Structure 1
Amino acid sequence: MSSWRVVFGALCLAGILLLVAVLVKVPESLPPERRQRGGLGGTCDAMGHLTRNRPFMGCALVLGSASAALFSCISGSSFVFERIHGASPAVYSLIFAVNAIGMLLAGALFSRLSLRVSVNTLLTAAVAVCLAGTLTQVLLTMALGDRFAASWICLFVVLWGIGMLLPATMTLGQDLGRAAPGAASALLGGLQFLFGAVASSVVGLFGETSSLPMSLIMLVSAALAALALVVLVRPRAVTPSGRDMIMDA
Structure 2
Amino acid sequence: MLVLLCFVGPLSTDMYLPAFPRMAVDLRTDASGVQATLAAFLAGMTLGHLVFGPVSDRYGRRVPLLVGAGGCAVATGVCAVAPGLDGVVAGRFLAGFGGAAGVVIGRAVVTDIAEGAVAARLLGVLMALAGLAPVLAPLAGGLVIEAVGWRGVFTVLAGAALLVAGAVLVAVPESLPPDRRHPGGGRELLRTVREVTGDRAYAGYSLAFTFAFGALFSYIAGAPFVLQRVLGLSVGASSAVFACGAVCTALTGAVGARLTARTGPERLLRTGAYAMCAGAASLLAAALAGALTLPVCLSLTALTCGGLGLVTGNATALALARVPHAAGTGSALLGTAQSALGAAVTPLVGLAGAENGGPVFGAMTACGAATLLAARWAGRADAAGR
Same fold judged by TM-score > 0.5?
yes
**TM-score for both structures, normalised by structure 2:** 0.59
Cα distance in structure 2, aligned partners of 1:144 and 1:82: 16
Q: Within the alignment, does 1:61 sit opposite 2:207 as a pair?
A: yes
> 1:14 offset after TM fit, Å?
1.6
> 1:39 offset after TM fit, Å?
3.9
Aligned residue for 1:214? 360
**Residue 88 (structure 1) aligned to one of 217, 234, 248:** 234
> 1:40 offset after TM fit, Å?
4.6
> 1:37 offset after TM fit, Å?
0.9
> 1:166 offset after TM fit, Å?
0.9
Aligned residue for 1:234? 379
Aligned residue for 1:15? 161
Q: One-letter code of the match for 2:295?
A: A
Q: Within the alignment, does 1:196 sit opposite 2:342 as a pair?
A: yes
**Residue 192 (structure 2) aligned to one of 46, 53, 59:** 46
String of CA shifts for 1:23-48, please: whole Å, max 9, x gaps.
Answer: 33222212332221114543332122
Cα distance in structure 1, aligned partners of 2:228 and 2:336: 31
Contact kept in structure 2, 1:64 and 1:194, CA below 8 Å? no
Aligned residue for 1:99? 245
Residue aligned with 2:237, SS: helix
Aligned residue for 1:136? 282
Cα distance in structure 1, aligned partners of 2:167 and 2:350: 35
Aligned residues: 240
Contact kept in structure 2, 1:206 and 1:213, CA below 8 Å? yes
Cα distance in structure 2, aligned partners of 1:211 and 1:197: 20
Q: Which has the higher contact order (CA 8 A, sep 6+)?
A: 1
Residue aligned with 2:333, SS: helix
Residue aligned with 1:209, SS: coil
Contact kept in structure 2, 1:174 and 1:184, CA below 8 Å? yes
Cα distance in structure 2, aligned partners of 1:13 and 1:193: 23
String of CA shifts for 1:160-182, please: whole Å, max 9, x gaps.
Answer: 11112111111111111212111
Cα distance in structure 1, aligned partners of 2:384 and 2:323: 14
> 1:193 offset after TM fit, Å?
1.5
Q: Within the alignment, does 1:178 sit opposite 2:315 as a pair?
A: no
Cα distance in structure 2, aligned partners of 1:40 and 1:111: 37
Residue aligned with 2:261, SS: coil
String of CA shifts for 1:57-89, please: whole Å, max 9, x gaps.
Answer: 111111111111001111111111110010111
Say if 1:235 and 1:119 are closer, same or farther in 2 by CA, change over 3 A.
Answer: farther
> 1:204 offset after TM fit, Å?
0.9
Unaligned runs of 5+ in 1: 237-244
Aligned residue for 1:239? none
Q: Percent identity?
A: 31
**TM-score for both structures, normalised by structure 1:** 0.90
Aligned residue for 1:248? 385
Residue aligned with 1:210, SS: coil
Residue aligned with 1:179, SS: helix
Residue aligned with 2:182, SS: coil
Residue aligned with 2:262, SS: coil
Aligned residue for 1:241? none
Aligned residue for 1:26? 172
Q: How does 1:69-84 map to 2 (within 5 A)?
A: 69-84=215-230
Q: One-letter code of the match for 1:70?
A: L
Aligned residue for 1:242? none
Give the RMSD, CA atoms, in angstroms.
Answer: 1.7
Residue aligned with 1:109, SS: helix
Contact kept in structure 2, 1:122 and 1:164, CA below 8 Å? yes
> 1:11 offset after TM fit, Å?
2.1
Aligned residue for 2:302? 156
Q: One-letter code of the match for 1:220?
A: A
Aligned residue for 2:106? none
> 1:235 offset after TM fit, Å?
4.8
Unaligned runs of 5+ in 2: 1-145
Residue aligned with 2:263, SS: coil
Cα distance in structure 1, aligned partners of 2:184 and 2:328: 13
Cα distance in structure 1, aligned partners of 2:290 and 2:380: 36
Contact kept in structure 2, 1:123 and 1:165, CA below 8 Å? yes
Contact kept in structure 2, 1:59 and 1:229, CA below 8 Å? yes
Residue aligned with 1:108, SS: helix
